[in-house]
Amino acid sequence: MERPRQTDEFWDWLVKRPVTDTPRGDFIEDTLALVRADIDPRDRLHRLVNNPKAEAVLKRLERLYKNSKK
């Protein structure tokens, strides 16, 4: 089952977010590096779909994003 695409605002927030504000962990940092390496990071989402670790990372980042909006 494919995840719905995150909003442009989410991706803008993610790409601009300082790495020091990101949850620690090599997999998380590798995932962010993958996302940030692309001009349009939404095109990379298909590489993360159906990958349980990547799904967990995206969910954590989505929660951080939602909390940052409060």
At 34-61, the pLDDT tens digits run 666 554 555 555 555 556 666 677 777 7
- Number of structural domains, the chain? 1
- Find the domain containing 25 and state its range: 8-68
Asked, for residue 28, whether it belongs to a domain, the answer is: yes
Note the pTM of the prediction, 2 decimals: 0.40
CB 32 within 8 A of CB 26: no
CB 28 within 8 A of CB 22: yes
Asked, for residue 1, whether it belongs to a domain, the answer is: no
Rounded Cα distance between 15 and 70, Å, is 19
CB 65 within 8 A of CB 10: yes
What is the C-alpha R_g of the chain?
11
pLDDT score of 4 more than 50: no
